[in-house]
């Protein structure tokens, strides 16, 4: 490994660690490479496809069973409904992108496209 490559790798490693909160930092503290940190964060925050499917099913159920509660304001109702629909759209779009790329359900996204600059 060239000194230039090593310096770049150390800068990436340092930048990732500086950007994390205490919870995430405790998850990646023993990771030795930038790609290992990145993959740990992907699993932590996006989950594997089985978890994504379960989240989609839960949000779909909330969407189908949505109703305004008796003492709920219209504003609160719309806020909750927007939260459900936005999360559902976001998860479905990410899930479809993985499927369209032809990856099997438990693989991570292409590292080159997901690594920070």
Kindly state the tokens that stand for 69. Answer: 């509660």
The mean pLDDT of the chain is: 78
Whose structure tokens read 């030795």?
A: 32
Kindly state the tokens that stand for 101. Answer: 């790329």
Confidence (pLDDT) at 83: 92
Confidence (pLDDT) at 109: 44
Are residues 39 and 60 located together in one domain of the fold? no
Whose structure tokens read 């909750």?
A: 80
**Domain containing 27: what range?**
1-45
The span from the CA of 52 to the CA of 30, in Å, is 26
The span from the CA of 10 to the CA of 8, in Å, is 5
Q: Which of 59, 61, 47 is nearest to 105 (CA)?
A: 47
Q: Count structural domains, the chain.
A: 2
Residue 112 has pLDDT above 50, yes or no: no
Are residues 82 and 53 located together in one domain of the fold? yes
Are residues 34 and 79 located together in one domain of the fold? no
Evaluate whether residue 13 is within a structural domain.
yes
The span from the CA of 34 to the CA of 116, in Å, is 10
Are residues 62 and 104 located together in one domain of the fold? yes
User: How does pLDDT run across 14-67, given as a tens digit for each residue?
Assistant: 888 888 888 888 888 888 888 888 888 877 776 667 777 888 889 889 989 999
User: How does pLDDT run across 57-106, given as a tens digit for each residue?
Assistant: 898 899 899 999 899 999 999 999 999 999 888 877 766 665 665 444 44
Are residues 64 and 27 located together in one domain of the fold? no
Confidence (pLDDT) at 98: 59
The span from the CA of 113 to the CA of 110, in Å, is 6
């Amino acid at each position: 490994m060239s000194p230039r490559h090593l310096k770049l790798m150390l800068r990436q490693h340092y930048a990732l660690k500086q950007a994390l909160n205490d919870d995430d930092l405790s998850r990646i503290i023993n990771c030795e490479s930038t790609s290992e940190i990145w993959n740990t964060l992907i699993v932590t925050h996006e989950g594997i496809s089985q978890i994504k499917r379960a989240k989609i099913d839960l949000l779909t159920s909330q969407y189908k069973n949505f109703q305004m509660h008796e003492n709920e304001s219209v504003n609160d109702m719309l806020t909750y409904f927007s939260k459900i629909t936005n999360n559902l759209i976001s998860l479905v779009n990410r899930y479809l992108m993985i499927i369209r790329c032809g990856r099997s359900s438990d693989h991570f996204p292409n590292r080159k496209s997901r690594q920070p600059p």
